[in-house]
Amino acid sequence: QALFSIFIKPCDKMPRSAVVAGVALAAFAAGAAFVVAPTRAPTAPLPPLASGASGSTATSAGWGLATAGLALGAHVGLAAAWRFRATAARAEGGGKAYKETPADERLFEQVYLQYTSEYMKGPMYWHPDKMQGFAPDYPGRPIVKNGKYTSNVIGNLKAFSSNELAFLSMLFFGVGLYGNLQFNYYDTQWAKVDAGGYFNVSYIVESLLLPISFFMHIACYIQKQNGK
Protein backbone atom coordinates (compact mmCIF):
# COMPACT_ATOMS: atom_id res chain seq x y z
CA GLN A 1 0.00 0.00 0.00
CA ALA A 2 2.90 2.35 0.77
CA LEU A 3 4.44 1.72 -2.64
CA PHE A 4 1.07 2.21 -4.31
CA SER A 5 0.54 5.61 -2.65
CA ILE A 6 4.11 6.72 -3.46
CA PHE A 7 3.72 6.16 -7.22
CA ILE A 8 0.04 7.03 -7.69
CA LYS A 9 -0.40 10.34 -5.86
CA PRO A 10 2.32 12.40 -7.58
CA CYS A 11 1.56 10.98 -11.04
CA ASP A 12 -0.34 14.13 -11.96
CA LYS A 13 2.93 16.00 -12.43
CA MET A 14 5.20 13.12 -13.55
CA PRO A 15 5.88 12.19 -17.20
CA ARG A 16 4.53 9.00 -18.70
CA SER A 17 7.92 7.17 -18.58
CA ALA A 18 8.31 7.85 -14.87
CA VAL A 19 4.81 6.55 -14.17
CA VAL A 20 5.46 3.34 -16.14
CA ALA A 21 8.79 2.78 -14.35
CA GLY A 22 7.15 3.28 -10.96
CA VAL A 23 4.37 0.84 -11.80
CA ALA A 24 6.90 -1.80 -12.91
CA LEU A 25 8.92 -1.35 -9.73
CA ALA A 26 5.78 -1.67 -7.60
CA ALA A 27 4.75 -4.85 -9.41
CA PHE A 28 8.24 -6.37 -8.94
CA ALA A 29 8.30 -5.51 -5.25
CA ALA A 30 4.82 -6.95 -4.70
CA GLY A 31 5.73 -10.17 -6.50
CA ALA A 32 8.96 -10.54 -4.52
CA ALA A 33 7.11 -9.96 -1.27
CA PHE A 34 4.76 -12.84 -2.08
CA VAL A 35 7.41 -15.22 -3.40
CA VAL A 36 10.01 -14.81 -0.62
CA ALA A 37 9.00 -16.72 2.52
CA PRO A 38 8.52 -14.45 5.55
CA THR A 39 10.75 -14.93 8.60
CA ARG A 40 9.05 -16.30 11.69
CA ALA A 41 9.94 -17.90 14.98
CA PRO A 42 10.98 -21.59 14.92
CA THR A 43 8.27 -24.05 15.77
CA ALA A 44 8.27 -27.64 16.78
CA PRO A 45 9.40 -29.98 13.99
CA LEU A 46 6.67 -31.74 12.14
CA PRO A 47 6.78 -35.42 11.42
CA PRO A 48 8.71 -36.14 8.24
CA LEU A 49 6.75 -36.67 5.07
CA ALA A 50 7.54 -38.60 2.02
CA SER A 51 10.00 -36.91 -0.37
CA GLY A 52 7.56 -36.93 -3.32
CA ALA A 53 4.75 -35.29 -1.33
CA SER A 54 6.98 -32.52 0.08
CA GLY A 55 8.38 -31.67 -3.37
CA SER A 56 4.95 -31.36 -5.00
CA THR A 57 3.65 -29.23 -2.09
CA ALA A 58 6.58 -26.80 -2.33
CA THR A 59 6.22 -26.50 -6.10
CA SER A 60 2.45 -25.78 -5.85
CA ALA A 61 3.03 -23.15 -3.15
CA GLY A 62 5.71 -21.43 -5.23
CA TRP A 63 3.48 -21.25 -8.34
CA GLY A 64 0.58 -19.95 -6.27
CA LEU A 65 2.65 -17.19 -4.71
CA ALA A 66 4.08 -16.19 -8.10
CA THR A 67 0.58 -16.02 -9.65
CA ALA A 68 -0.70 -13.89 -6.77
CA GLY A 69 2.24 -11.50 -7.15
CA LEU A 70 1.65 -11.11 -10.88
CA ALA A 71 -2.08 -10.51 -10.35
CA LEU A 72 -1.38 -7.82 -7.77
CA GLY A 73 1.18 -6.16 -10.02
CA ALA A 74 -1.29 -6.13 -12.92
CA HIS A 75 -3.96 -4.51 -10.77
CA VAL A 76 -1.52 -1.86 -9.59
CA GLY A 77 -0.51 -1.10 -13.19
CA LEU A 78 -4.12 -0.83 -14.36
CA ALA A 79 -5.00 1.50 -11.49
CA ALA A 80 -2.02 3.75 -12.27
CA ALA A 81 -2.86 3.86 -15.98
CA TRP A 82 -6.51 4.65 -15.27
CA ARG A 83 -5.57 7.49 -12.93
CA PHE A 84 -3.08 8.92 -15.42
CA ARG A 85 -5.67 8.82 -18.22
CA ALA A 86 -8.32 10.49 -16.07
CA THR A 87 -5.90 13.22 -15.02
CA ALA A 88 -4.85 13.86 -18.63
CA ALA A 89 -8.50 14.07 -19.74
CA ARG A 90 -9.30 16.59 -17.01
CA ALA A 91 -6.29 18.67 -17.96
CA GLU A 92 -7.26 18.75 -21.62
CA GLY A 93 -10.94 19.46 -20.98
CA GLY A 94 -10.37 22.17 -18.40
CA GLY A 95 -7.97 24.19 -20.51
CA LYS A 96 -10.40 24.98 -23.36
CA ALA A 97 -13.58 27.02 -22.95
CA TYR A 98 -16.45 26.51 -25.42
CA LYS A 99 -17.18 29.49 -27.64
CA GLU A 100 -20.22 29.51 -29.89
CA THR A 101 -19.41 30.06 -33.55
CA PRO A 102 -21.72 31.52 -36.22
CA ALA A 103 -22.10 28.04 -37.70
CA ASP A 104 -23.23 26.66 -34.33
CA GLU A 105 -25.68 29.53 -33.96
CA ARG A 106 -27.21 28.93 -37.40
CA LEU A 107 -27.47 25.20 -36.73
CA PHE A 108 -29.27 25.87 -33.44
CA GLU A 109 -31.70 28.26 -35.14
CA GLN A 110 -32.48 25.73 -37.89
CA VAL A 111 -33.04 22.86 -35.47
CA TYR A 112 -35.08 25.03 -33.09
CA LEU A 113 -37.26 26.43 -35.90
CA GLN A 114 -37.88 22.97 -37.34
CA TYR A 115 -38.73 21.53 -33.92
CA THR A 116 -41.11 24.36 -33.00
CA SER A 117 -42.76 24.23 -36.43
CA GLU A 118 -43.50 20.54 -36.07
CA TYR A 119 -44.69 21.04 -32.50
CA MET A 120 -47.04 23.85 -33.45
CA LYS A 121 -48.68 21.63 -36.05
CA GLY A 122 -49.74 19.14 -33.40
CA PRO A 123 -52.94 19.19 -31.37
CA MET A 124 -51.08 19.65 -28.06
CA TYR A 125 -50.25 23.28 -28.88
CA TRP A 126 -53.07 25.80 -28.60
CA HIS A 127 -52.90 29.37 -29.79
CA PRO A 128 -55.57 31.98 -30.56
CA ASP A 129 -54.30 32.21 -34.12
CA LYS A 130 -55.48 28.63 -34.64
CA MET A 131 -59.05 29.77 -34.14
CA GLN A 132 -61.22 30.82 -37.07
CA GLY A 133 -61.20 34.51 -37.71
CA PHE A 134 -59.60 37.21 -39.79
CA ALA A 135 -56.39 36.00 -41.48
CA PRO A 136 -55.43 33.31 -38.94
CA ASP A 137 -51.91 31.91 -39.12
CA TYR A 138 -51.46 28.30 -40.09
CA PRO A 139 -49.46 26.35 -37.48
CA GLY A 140 -45.81 26.36 -38.46
CA ARG A 141 -46.35 28.98 -41.19
CA PRO A 142 -46.52 32.43 -39.57
CA ILE A 143 -47.69 35.35 -41.67
CA VAL A 144 -45.96 38.09 -39.65
CA LYS A 145 -42.54 37.64 -38.07
CA ASN A 146 -40.58 40.40 -36.30
CA GLY A 147 -42.99 43.00 -37.62
CA LYS A 148 -42.53 41.94 -41.28
CA TYR A 149 -44.62 39.84 -43.61
CA THR A 150 -43.10 36.43 -44.29
CA SER A 151 -43.06 34.59 -47.60
CA ASN A 152 -46.09 32.57 -46.47
CA VAL A 153 -48.36 35.54 -47.11
CA ILE A 154 -47.88 35.39 -50.90
CA GLY A 155 -48.91 31.74 -51.16
CA ASN A 156 -47.46 29.76 -54.06
CA LEU A 157 -45.38 32.74 -55.20
CA LYS A 158 -43.00 32.13 -52.27
CA ALA A 159 -41.20 29.62 -54.49
CA PHE A 160 -40.07 32.52 -56.74
CA SER A 161 -37.18 34.82 -55.95
CA SER A 162 -37.51 38.59 -55.86
CA ASN A 163 -35.65 38.92 -59.19
CA GLU A 164 -38.01 36.52 -60.92
CA LEU A 165 -41.07 38.30 -59.53
CA ALA A 166 -39.65 41.67 -60.60
CA PHE A 167 -39.24 40.37 -64.17
CA LEU A 168 -42.79 38.98 -64.21
CA SER A 169 -44.13 42.23 -62.81
CA MET A 170 -42.53 44.32 -65.56
CA LEU A 171 -43.56 41.81 -68.23
CA PHE A 172 -47.20 41.73 -67.13
CA PHE A 173 -47.23 45.51 -66.79
CA GLY A 174 -46.00 46.02 -70.35
CA VAL A 175 -48.37 43.46 -71.88
CA GLY A 176 -51.34 44.72 -69.83
CA LEU A 177 -50.66 48.35 -70.72
CA TYR A 178 -50.42 47.43 -74.41
CA GLY A 179 -53.77 45.61 -74.31
CA ASN A 180 -55.54 48.51 -72.60
CA LEU A 181 -54.14 51.13 -75.00
CA GLN A 182 -55.00 49.06 -78.04
CA PHE A 183 -58.53 48.32 -76.83
CA ASN A 184 -59.41 51.90 -75.89
CA TYR A 185 -57.29 54.21 -78.09
CA TYR A 186 -55.20 52.84 -80.94
CA ASP A 187 -57.57 50.08 -82.11
CA THR A 188 -60.88 51.13 -80.61
CA GLN A 189 -63.05 48.12 -80.07
CA TRP A 190 -66.25 49.95 -79.21
CA ALA A 191 -66.47 51.39 -82.71
CA LYS A 192 -66.04 47.92 -84.23
CA VAL A 193 -68.85 46.55 -82.09
CA ASP A 194 -71.10 49.49 -83.04
CA ALA A 195 -70.35 48.75 -86.67
CA GLY A 196 -71.49 45.14 -86.20
CA GLY A 197 -68.10 43.57 -85.58
CA TYR A 198 -66.60 41.66 -82.62
CA PHE A 199 -64.16 42.45 -79.87
CA ASN A 200 -60.53 41.49 -80.29
CA VAL A 201 -60.23 38.89 -77.52
CA SER A 202 -56.44 39.15 -77.34
CA TYR A 203 -56.71 42.77 -76.18
CA ILE A 204 -59.05 41.74 -73.39
CA VAL A 205 -56.73 38.95 -72.18
CA GLU A 206 -53.71 41.23 -72.37
CA SER A 207 -55.45 44.00 -70.44
CA LEU A 208 -56.13 41.64 -67.54
CA LEU A 209 -52.39 41.29 -66.94
CA LEU A 210 -52.11 44.93 -65.87
CA PRO A 211 -53.66 44.46 -62.37
CA ILE A 212 -51.81 41.15 -61.98
CA SER A 213 -48.53 43.01 -62.42
CA PHE A 214 -49.34 45.04 -59.31
CA PHE A 215 -49.63 41.90 -57.17
CA MET A 216 -46.39 40.60 -58.67
CA HIS A 217 -44.77 43.85 -57.59
CA ILE A 218 -46.04 43.44 -54.00
CA ALA A 219 -44.82 39.83 -53.89
CA CYS A 220 -41.42 40.94 -55.18
CA TYR A 221 -41.19 43.53 -52.39
CA ILE A 222 -42.06 40.95 -49.70
CA GLN A 223 -39.49 38.47 -51.02
CA LYS A 224 -36.91 41.25 -51.10
CA GLN A 225 -37.66 42.07 -47.46
CA ASN A 226 -37.09 38.42 -46.54
CA GLY A 227 -33.75 38.29 -48.35
CA LYS A 228 -34.94 36.03 -51.15
Contacts 24+ apart (CB under 8 A), 114-118: 117/141
- Phi, psi torsion values for 145, nearest 5 degrees: -145, 120
- Phi, psi torsion values for 195, nearest 5 degrees: -85, 5
What pLDDT score does 196 carry? 87
170-209 confidence digits (pLDDT tens):
999 999 999 999 999 998 888 888 888 898 999 999 999 9
45-87 confidence digits (pLDDT tens):
555 544 455 555 666 667 777 788 888 888 888 888 888 787 7
Strand ranges, E, within the chain: 144-145, 148-149
Residue 48: helix, strand or coil by DSSP? coil
What pLDDT score does 224 carry? 93
Is the model more confident about 81 or about 7?
81
Gap between the Cα atoms of 123 and 119, Å rounded: 9
- How high does pLDDT run on average in the chain? 76
Sequence-separated (6 or more) residues with CB below 8 Å from residue 193:
199
Q: pTM of the prediction?
A: 0.41
What pLDDT score does 3 carry? 45
127-171 confidence digits (pLDDT tens):
666 665 555 566 667 788 888 888 888 988 999 999 999 999 999
